[in-house]
A and B are shown apart, each in its own frame.
Chain A
Amino acid sequence: QKEVEQNSGPLSVPEGAIASLNCTYSDRGSQSFFWYRQYSGKSPELIMSIYSNGDKEDGRFTAQLNKASQYVSLLIRDSQPSDSATYLCAVNDAGNNRKLIWGLGTSLAVNP
């Protein structure tokens, strides 16, 4: 059973701090990794995609990938109350590249 695991949280950080969200995956052949943000009652919104080991930065967001450790993370710098949401990690199924395997999400609360 291929799995993506995330700490369910809630992760609580003060406004302006760095929020660190983590995700591990079981499928060693996975090549594509995605972070989505989901506000309560809304659909997931793509934040970042990452395909190579290392860091990828986009504004206040940085995705980090370590394929050897089967670990992907998302850092949010200068966290804002509007960042409060559930963050979903998704990883491609190596046996079927067109399919994504999803984590259950980490709830983030940014406190003013």
Chain B
Amino acid sequence: DAGVTQSPTHLIKTRGQQVTLRCSPKSGHDTVSWYQQALGQGPQFIFQYYEEEERQRGNFPDRFSGHQFPNYSSELNVNALLLGDSALYLCASSTSGGVADTQYFGPGTRLTVL
């Protein structure tokens, strides 16, 4: 049973560029949440996708956008990169049933903005 996968594992970009990160959820999961984690901080919720729609969003600017595909995989896009966007980007998958479904994390993508 494949767990949550993310690609790429590491990425280096320069300010102003755009980046796309990818996530495939755990088998049987239909909901994907994206988080940003800076060094020494807890995960910060970016947004969550379910049924190919953004269902909720954290306190992130519109430069952060996403998409969910019919196979439940998801992309996170960040435009006009800033130095402060350097972080570990985490994808977590869960099921749509029940209360506060348990979230399982992928290995993350380490983004460095120079």
Instruction: Please provide the chain A residues from 83 to 112 with a CB less than 8 Å away from any CB of chain B in the complex.
Output: 88, 90, 92, 96-100, 102-105
Contact A92 B42 (CB under 8 A): no
| Interface members, chain A 45-83 (any B CB < 8 Å) | 45-46, 49, 51
Q: How far is the CB of B47 from chain A (nearest CB, A)?
A: 10
Q: Is the beta-carbon distance between A97 and B42 smaller than 8 angstroms?
A: no
Interface pair A104/B42, CB less than 8 Å apart: yes
What is the predominant secondary structure among interface residues of chain A facing chain B? strand
C-alpha gap A44/B45 in the complex (Å) = 14
B99 and A102 contacting across the interface, CB-CB below 8 Å: no
Tally chain A residues at the interface, Cβ within 8 Å: 24
Bin chain B's interface residue count: 20 to 34
Let me know if A44 and B101 touch, CB within 8 A: no
- Cβ of B43 under 8 Å from chain A: yes
Contact of A97 among B100, B102, B106 (CB under 8 A): B100
Please give me the 7 A-B residue pairs with the lowest Cβ-Cβ distance, nearest first. Answer: A92-B100, A32-B100, A43-B105, A102-B42, A104-B42, A43-B108, A97-B99
Q: Which residues of A contact B (CB under 8 A)?
A: 31-32, 34, 36, 41-46, 49, 51, 88, 90, 92, 96-100, 102-105
**Cβ contacts A to B, 26 pairs, < 8 Å:** A32-B100, A34-B102, A36-B105, A41-B88, A44-B43, A44-B90, A45-B105, A46-B104, A49-B102, A51-B99, A88-B43, A92-B99, A97-B99, A98-B50, A98-B55, A98-B96, A99-B56, A100-B33, A100-B100, A100-B103, A102-B42, A102-B43, A102-B44, A102-B45, A104-B40, A104-B41
Question: Which residues of B approach A to under 8 Å, CB–CB?
Answer: 31, 33, 40-45, 48, 50, 55-56, 88, 90, 94, 96, 99-108, 110
